Amino acid sequence: MARGELFDPVFGGHALGAELSDRAWISAMLEVEAGLARAVAATGRISGADAAEITAAAGRLAERLDPAVLGAEGVGGGNPVIPLVARLRAECSGAGVPAAAVHTGATSQDVIDTALMLLARRSGALVVGDLAAAADAAAALAAAHRDTPMAARTLGQQALPTTFGALAAGWCAGLDRAAQTLAAVLGSLPVQFGGAAGTLAALHPNGFDVADALAAELGLARQGVPWHTDRVRIGELASALGVAAGAVAKPATDVVSMAATELGEVAEDAPGGSSAMPHKRNPVAAVTARAAACRVPGLVATVLGNMDHEFARAAGAWHAEWETVTDLLRLTGGAAHRLADCLDGLHVDAAAMRRNLDATGGMLLAERVTGALAGYTDSARAFVTAACAAGRPLDADPEVTQYLDPATVRELLDPAGYLGHAGDLVDRVLAGRDTRSIKENTP
């Protein structure tokens, strides 16, 4: 069962919901227990036959164990691992597996933390994939509209001309960087194995060997040393997800603004309607991408503000991470998925962009006229500012045309002639894309 069958599809989290569901958590914890049995067997502390039976029993339990039952049984100990281990031992006992062979040398935090790392790597790969898909769509828009002029806007007002390609290239660069950072963090997520107090005492002198073997069994990075209360890895994961959500929110916000009736510069390929207003064509994918991303910063703050785990096991701070990190993965991935939907096939209205460029009657290029006029008078800025404030066309303002003839002013007011390095920005972003590193680093 997904965490939110009603809302996950709306916010793009449907596929991630399955990867991060209660059932997925149980399967991951049992996978850790099975991997641990095989790792311990490699040191000779339990038999290979017992490890094989534990692995088989874990597989059976993963299919039939009811999350609601396990959750209720976990109330007394404050986590689901305690009843999970009891059930696994009972499942193995009929085959003669001694209870001590199950969960050997481990503590509950080892199992939950390592299960979370497994879930993060698997679901995180989907997040990176959707970030990359959104970046690819932005790159395609940038290439197609490298030279399509539009108004750049600062503080909500028209500023100077730019191109839609330059705007989309900026989206692409941010999404690529966020995907690269997240992929690197996911690839470094380690196993957690320290035993009751982080000293591996129950497995001495083989503790490090078992920990490394467990990492190999599960396909995780080696831990170096146990990190029960060193939560830097969790903080890095949360931060990378937060940055990724921010990278998604930026283009989603731009699309929502540009799709507004008054601008009409872009439209989604499959806009949404309204239950009350037949004329509405809402940029729903962008809207829901923003909505999912909006919830992420608070969750990141919860993780970062919660890193001061005391001594060898935190009382509450550790417990607060389980659902928080799960929700971070689900929401960030959902936002990325919806943005990819939004940008793939986005309709760009170049005529509307040109119309909006012309809305100020040339005031958009007042900076350019001022620069040209400054070669003739120190009052250039004052003359142009006064004309703009009065709403006088610059090619008809006497203070301006006493130095520059009207034809020259009109040429200066052509947006296509004042795009700076907009096209070069597109070329640089597209030429510098490193999609291979994203694919290579994604687990």
Domain boundary (106, 128, 156) is at 106
User: What are the angstrom distances between the C-alpha of 250 and each of 174, 179, 243, 245, 421?
Assistant: 9, 15, 11, 9, 22
pLDDT for position 7? 85
345, 140 contact by CB (below 8 A)? no
Residue 213 lies inside a defined structural domain of this protein: no
Single out the residue of 141, 443, 182, 232 nearest to residue 335, CA to CA: 182
pLDDT for position 58? 98
Per-10-residue mean pLDDT for the chain, 443 residues long? 72 89 97 98 96 98 96 96 98 95 98 98 97 97 97 92 97 98 98 97 97 98 97 98 98 97 92 50 91 97 97 96 97 97 96 92 86 93 92 90 91 89 96 77 69
179 plus 314 within the same structural domain: yes
174 plus 303 within the same structural domain: yes
436: annotated active-site residue: no
370 plus 430 within the same structural domain: no
pLDDT for position 362? 77
380 plus 281 within the same structural domain: no
Inter-axis angle of helices 284-294 and 232-258, nearest 10: 150
Residue 196 lies inside a defined structural domain of this protein: no
Query: Active-site residue among 60, 274, 355, 428?
Result: 274
Domain boundary (106, 122, 153) is at 106
Number of compact structural domains in the chain:
3
How far apart are the C-alpha atoms of 190 and 197, rounded to whole Å? Answer: 18
DSSP code at position 221: B
Find the Cα–Cα–Cα–Cα dihedral 280, 286, 292, 293, rounded to 10°: -140
- The pTM of this model reads 0.93
Residue 260 lies inside a defined structural domain of this protein: yes
118 plus 88 within the same structural domain: no
154 plus 289 within the same structural domain: yes
254, 167 contact by CB (below 8 A)? yes
Residue 208 lies inside a defined structural domain of this protein: no
146 plus 286 within the same structural domain: yes
Residue 336 lies inside a defined structural domain of this protein: yes
How far apart are the C-alpha atoms of 83 and 426, rounded to whole Å? Answer: 56
DSSP code at position 222: P
How many residues would you count in the chain?
443
7 plus 79 within the same structural domain: yes
Residue 334 lies inside a defined structural domain of this protein: yes
368: containing domain:
362-412
313: annotated active-site residue: yes
333 plus 256 within the same structural domain: yes
pLDDT for position 120? 98
pLDDT for position 267? 94
Residue 305 lies inside a defined structural domain of this protein: yes
257 plus 163 within the same structural domain: yes
Give me the residues paired with residue 152 across strands.
Answer: none
Residue 204 lies inside a defined structural domain of this protein: no
241 plus 299 within the same structural domain: yes
CATH of the domain at 42: 1.10.275.10
299, 331 contact by CB (below 8 A)? yes
Give me the residues paired with residue 158 across strands.
Answer: 153
Query: Active-site residue among 87, 295, 313, 381?
Result: 313
Measured over the CA atoms of residue 137, residue 139, residue 144 and residue 150, the dihedral's sign is: positive
112 plus 100 within the same structural domain: no
CATH of the domain at 145: 1.20.200.10
